[in-house]
A and B are shown apart, each in its own frame.
Chain A
Amino acid sequence: MGMTVTEKILADHAGLDTVCPGDLIEVKVDAAFAHDVTAPLAIETFYRIGVSGVYDRNRVILVADHFVPNKDIQSAQQVKRMREFAREEGLLHYYEGGQAGIGHVLLPEKGLVLPGQVVIGADSHTCTYGALGAFSTGVGSTDLAAVMATGEIWLKVPATIRLEYTGKLRKWVQGKDLILHTLGRIGVEGALYRAMEFTGPVIEALPMHQRFTMANMAIEGGAKNGIIEVDETTRAYVAERSSEPYRVYRSDPDAGYEQTLTIPVDDVTPQVACPSSPANVMPVSEVGFVPVDQVFIGSCTNGWLEDLRCAAFLLAGRKVAPGLRLVVIPGSPWIYRKALEEGILETFLEAGAVIGPPCCGPCLGGHMGLLAEGERAVSTTNRNFIGRMGHPKSEVYLANPAVAAASAVLGRVAGPAELTPD
């Protein structure tokens, strides 16, 4: 029997001809990532392991993106610890301040993660890079410390669920809606310990940033990784950012899938995940009258340049609803600059938005843009758990950037069709 793309990457990195789901293997790691929340714990553990240095100073990547610009003394201490470690170890990829954006946006943008690689990150949304045809998964700080020390990690080979998207996308329906729709169907543990392989004609036609959005939220189904095979879209994206060689893996026609789900998209309209689960999904048209206090556009899920363009298109010539706060955060300094050059930031300012520096922002409710008791947000992020963005009695509705922009203008959960009927 053949192998899936995930199995092939893992087998190759373990020095094996074949692997089967359930095998425990030790694989070589091409890139290891941590940020200002997870790195300090990993650094302490790294020293306890007692090696002379990191396994490869070109492959350990640290980004200050969660509580930056440093929100308080404790977070300043955490970033300082990370900065000193990067200096001591001579890391070639340490990003902070004006060089830093959201790690999961920055790494692909700088060509630091490539197709066919094994990428391990101390952040659950490390699965984002699967959009490039890499095996990429999140771990905790101790695992990451072990990777920094040895360049290897033990993994259980996941069984693969093949998700085939067929049909034609409706207007305003994006990668975000496809993954939300999928989560609504399979649930938050529908892909527990599994690989989610996104395939089919709809995925083949999907632009790169929307592929990132889909792979990003594989973890919300409990998956170990999400993956999309390399095609011309991937090659074109990588070619602009890296001249490093990479290897392309493909699933065999007779690969063993645990399950194949066909997902027709013709009837899928813009989706919303209602409180307090990413799988509590319904079409935005069915949500009813839900007033909103804040809208956030950004994050590793939807902080890409194209996401900002989409929101700006709808906000142009319009104002955010009275009393509503719109927070926009570009995913990286490069995106920030492009948005400035294209006049997108001016559109946001005209509409009444606050524009933040590239960072994770309000997504995890730790730094800037938090919600008060009883407040409600529409957010382009990935999680709407209880208290995720602030007070335990606040609520988050997850949506794509077009729904977020429309909701900001109308002051309630609303789809873009309400602003621009065809």
Chain B
Amino acid sequence: MTDGRGSAVDDRGLRVRSGLEKSCSSQKGMEDMTIEGRVWKFGNDVDTDLILPARFLNLSDPAELAKGCFVNLRPDFIDGVTPGDIIVGGNNFGCGSSREHAPLALREAGVGAIVARGFARIFYRNAFNIGLPLLESAEAAADLAEGDRAAVDIVSGIIENKSRRKTFRANPIPPFMRELIGAGGLVEYIRMKKISGRK
């Protein structure tokens, strides 16, 4: 079932992104996980208040949350972003508040992946838990510029700057995080491992 916007709707009416969660729902799906899009470039210490200001936190609907992405910093972002686009950041991307609304809003806006020099730890967990892949690469983060075309392969960690014909390899995603993505996110991982094991 879909809601007409390309997202699957599960039996309780919760919208599930068709992109990553679906394509990651099996190891088979993971074999071909390339994300390609325009680069949106940001600096160091991009905090979650910048990604999504608190005035949007009285909402839970991802589509409504998406409207707040970078609204203070780059009001042009939400109108310009298209599915598969890639955010590139510097150090400590996603620092500050634990609001999962921030990665959720980015994912809903269509962001396919985030490449940065480094990520803040709560944001890192949150993004993987909801199936938004993050890649750490200082070289790629330095090279990729605003407006470039880029492609990232989540499985191999290869990041390609299509505009400048350069490739980079991200730090490997830890095996446990790959397992999480392979399962389709934390919820599915728990369903698989914990609950079945208990009953």
| Chain A positions near chain B (C-beta within 8 angstroms) | 24, 37-38, 40-41, 44-45, 47-51, 66-67, 71-72, 74-75, 78, 122-124, 126, 138-143, 145-146, 149-150, 152, 154, 188-189, 192-193, 219, 222, 224, 277, 364-366, 383, 385-388, 392
Contact = CB atoms under 8 A, between A and B. Distances in A.
B186 A143 contact: yes
A51 B195 contact: yes
B13 to A, nearest CB: 10
18 contacts: A41-B100, A41-B104, A72-B58, A74-B59, A142-B129, A142-B130, A145-B187, A149-B195, A150-B195, A154-B176, A188-B92, A189-B91, A193-B121, A222-B121, A385-B49, A386-B72, A387-B53, A392-B73
A192 B92 contact: yes
A222 B120 contact: yes
Contact of A386 (B49, B57, B185): B49
B194 interface: yes
B49 A150 contact: no
Nearest to A364: B54
A49 B191 contact: yes
Contacts of B190: 49, 146, 149-150
Q: How large is the interface on B (under 10, 10 to 19, 20 to 34, 35 or more residues)?
A: 35 or more
B90 to A, nearest CB: 10
Interface in B77-98: 91-92, 95-98
Nearest to A224: B121
Interface of B: 10, 12, 14, 45, 47, 49-50, 53-55, 57-60, 72-73, 91-92, 95-101, 103-104, 118, 120-122, 125-126, 129-130, 174, 176, 185-187, 190-191, 194-195
A38 B99 contact: yes
B57 A140 contact: no
Given A24-B176, A222-B95, A75 B58 contact: yes
A8 to B, nearest CB: 21
Contact of A142 (B47, B95, B120, B185): B185
A47 B13 CA distance: 12
